[in-house]
Chain A
Amino acid sequence: MTDVAVRAVRLGKLYRVGERQPYNTIRDVITASARARLRRLGRPSNGSAHDPSTEAKSMWALRDVSLELREGEALGIIGRNGSGKSTLLKILSRITEPTEGHAVISGRVGSLLEVGTGFHPELTGRENISLNGAILGMPRADIQRKFDEIVSFAGIERYIDTPVKRYSTGMHARLAFAVAAHLEPDILIVDEVLAVGDAEFQKRCMGKMGDAARSGRTVLFVSHNMAAIESLCSRTIWLEGGRCAADGTSSEVISRYLATCLSVLSDHVWPEPELAPGNDRVRIRRARVRPEQGEPEDQISVATPFVIEFEYWNMREGARLNLSLHVYNEHGVIVFNAIPTEELVWHGRPFPRGLFRDTCHVPANLLNEGVHRIELLVVADSCHVIHRMEDILVFEVRDIDDSRDGWYERRVGAVRPRLAWETEHLVAIDSTASGDA
């Protein structure tokens, strides 16, 4: 045998849109077929058999993906939402069949796609460990051997004979992960399950996964967390629109991926006013995001002060214009709204016709990491929105290592300020007198 753990050849998955609908009822089927029959009655002479409206729409969620993974290799999989990452994992873990191509997998596949599923609320923790282990494909002897380890990893010793329905959400998640983490399959598949549990627990999960990678287990890891992928996987593939856009060392692929996220929309120029977005009152000439210092194409990290810059033509003499920026994070939350109230020269004064430039300075340590989008509004007389552009700029704020302080997972929250903080030691506990206080 060779030491190839996974060999996938031209894998593809076609989804018919109809198949992804939650479910049909017989009534839907009957009414649809009755409708089709009526339509046929309506134009009986028409010879063409194909009615385009009944033809199912379909899309390739994955296409032409080939990859070879050696035993013991840890592979990161990155890409935007809907790029086919989860579909690839589902095919490799046999949950869904590919439409074309094939994959040869040598060894037992265990996935952390399913943390918490398969638990039955009526059964106790002890019973669920056996059941969940069996569902995840753990041999019974292994479950018995690792039982104590699983219980203590989850930290639920006292509740082991309590039905799981009485567990807190955290306990439930910890137990579920503990079982999955002790699977020890030959090939471990992980799809961003680390959002569950408290902070302390997340650290242990990442540790467990790092152990698996380092102890020579083959790992496939899907995540949006580039730092975690870079630290755990030596190799990364990048999927784009269901196809493999890049395959190489993690640092190389990640920086190429981030570069496209960055350059796609971080600088727009419309040199000819007639073709520029806008109307007879205002025309946009340029929009860009760049670091405050250094080269304009340098990456922006959480610790980089940067500027958002707009150039626009005012087409009407005497208009009182101001820009308003909505900065969204990748969850669609507006992180802040910026308006030039602090601008002293032009704010609130009539603008002559001509080209203007607004520059908004964003300090370091404000935005959290992730992709941010800017919506631009041009406002007249402080109350009329005369032009609006969604996603005029899209840029990524990268994480940097030193601010993470050993923390793998991304920090939660829309903003990531560095705040002044004091810890004081107020009273010492005397170890001899602590018995009764």
Chain B
Amino acid sequence: MGRTTSARHTTTVQPSSGWVAMRFGELWDYRELFYFLTWRDIKVRYKQTALGAAWAVLQPVLTMIVFSVFFGKLAGIPSGDVPYPVFAFAALVPWTFFASAIALAGNSLVEQERILAKVYFPRLIVPTAAVLASLVDFGIAFVVLLGLMLVYGIVPSAALLVLPFLVLLAAATALAVGLWLSALNVKYRDIRYAIPFAVQLWLFISPVAYPSSLVPEPWDAVYGINPMAGVIDGFRWALLGAEPPGATLAISVLVTGGLLAGGLLYFRRMERSFADIV
């Protein structure tokens, strides 16, 4: 047989005490599984639905149309120098990514419970793969956004260069929230029902339908505690040439960092008992 005796690695199984070490190196050993789980989440998503990838476009586009009619036209919400449809769509693209990523990640562990009870691999892979899979939808919707900007003749400034960082921030925020939700979901099955509701509320406290400039002076920094406010303001700055979000963005980065660190610790701590609970 082709097995080599030399490259055999040794594993030690023992009770972990207190806060668990992160074992990021182990994630690298399981990179193929990472790839396959992400690939599966993408594939299944497009296979199960009749419209497939069209959903990635339809969802933000239809929301944009509704927002444009009711908030842009009828309510007369200001959108700065850019037409309301582009203004809303530039926010809906990262928002839709965030909303679907936390829903997918939040339910990921519970949906994989049979595997969790029977095979070992770093559990962190499961919600992370869900977030990564949602990036595909984001990519498709982003192309539509670029098309829309072309139609309205909007040329982004040099601020466009921060966009990759903003995407990373959105993904990190989604992962942070996803880690908390997925781990809590194993213990408390209420979370499954709470997620859609939380997403809905979160939409209204994020500057998707309105500009964050509507928030009065002393509160705009506090507003950055919602990391999606920083992400969305950042998107409008990078793509549409809006005001740079400054303090809001800085606070969002800090909050996401804290949320992610806490989420990782909590997830690792809960990980030990996942197989015993599910």
Contacts and interface: CB of A to CB of B under 8 A. Distances in A.
Contact of B8 (A26, A107, A113, A163): A107
Contacts of A106: 8-11
Nearest to A27: B190
B174 to A, nearest CB: 23
A412 B59 CA distance: 55
Nearest to B188: A26
Interface string B100-127: 0000000000000011111111000000
Given A98-B15, A105-B10, A134 B32 contact: yes
Given A117-B118, A184-B1, A101 B40 contact: no
Interface of B: 1, 3, 8-16, 32-33, 35-37, 39-40, 43-44, 47-48, 114-121, 186-190, 272-273, 275-278
Nearest to B6: A1
B112 to A, nearest CB: 8
Nearest to B35: A134
Contacts of A416: none
Contacts of A120: 40, 44
21 contacts: A1-B8, A19-B277, A23-B277, A24-B189, A29-B188, A92-B13, A95-B119, A97-B272, A98-B15, A102-B12, A104-B10, A104-B11, A111-B118, A117-B118, A118-B119, A120-B40, A122-B43, A123-B40, A127-B43, A130-B36, A184-B1
Nearest to A5: B8
B90 to A, nearest CB: 33
A101 B273 CA distance: 17
A95 B272 CA distance: 9
Contacts of B187: 23-24
A431 interface: no
Contact of B119 (A29, A99, A107, A135): A135
Interface in A90-129: 90-109, 111, 113-114, 117-118, 120, 122-123, 127
Contact of B118 (A95, A103, A123, A186): A95
Contacts, number: 128
A171 interface: no
A117 B277 contact: no
Given A25-B189, A97-B14, A109-B120, 9 more contacts: A29-B188, A97-B16, A104-B10, A113-B118, A134-B33, A134-B37, A137-B119, A139-B32, A186-B8
Contacts of A113: 118-119
Given A23-B187, A131-B36, A136 B11 contact: no
B44 A104 contact: no
Contacts of B32: 134, 139-140
Interface residues of A, number: 51
A123 B39 CA distance: 11
**What is the interface of chain A mostly: helix, strand, loop, or mixed?**
mixed
A53 interface: no
A111 B119 contact: yes
Nearest to A15: B276
A103 B13 contact: yes
Nearest to A16: B276
A97 B3 CA distance: 28
B119 A24 contact: no
A232 B189 CA distance: 43
B14 to A, nearest CB: 4
Nearest to B10: A106
B189 A122 contact: no
A172 to B, nearest CB: 14
Contacts of B36: 130-131, 134-135
Interface in A190-241: 215
Contacts of A136: 119
User: Which 6 residue pairs are nearest across A and B when measured between Cβ atoms?
Assistant: A114-B118, A102-B14, A94-B120, A134-B36, A103-B13, A106-B10
Nearest to A106: B10
A184 B119 contact: no
Nearest to B191: A26
Given A24-B188, A130-B36, A140-B32, A104 B12 contact: yes
B278 to A, nearest CB: 8
A20 interface: yes
Interface in A10-62: 15, 19-20, 23-27, 29
Contact of A123 (B9, B14, B44): B44
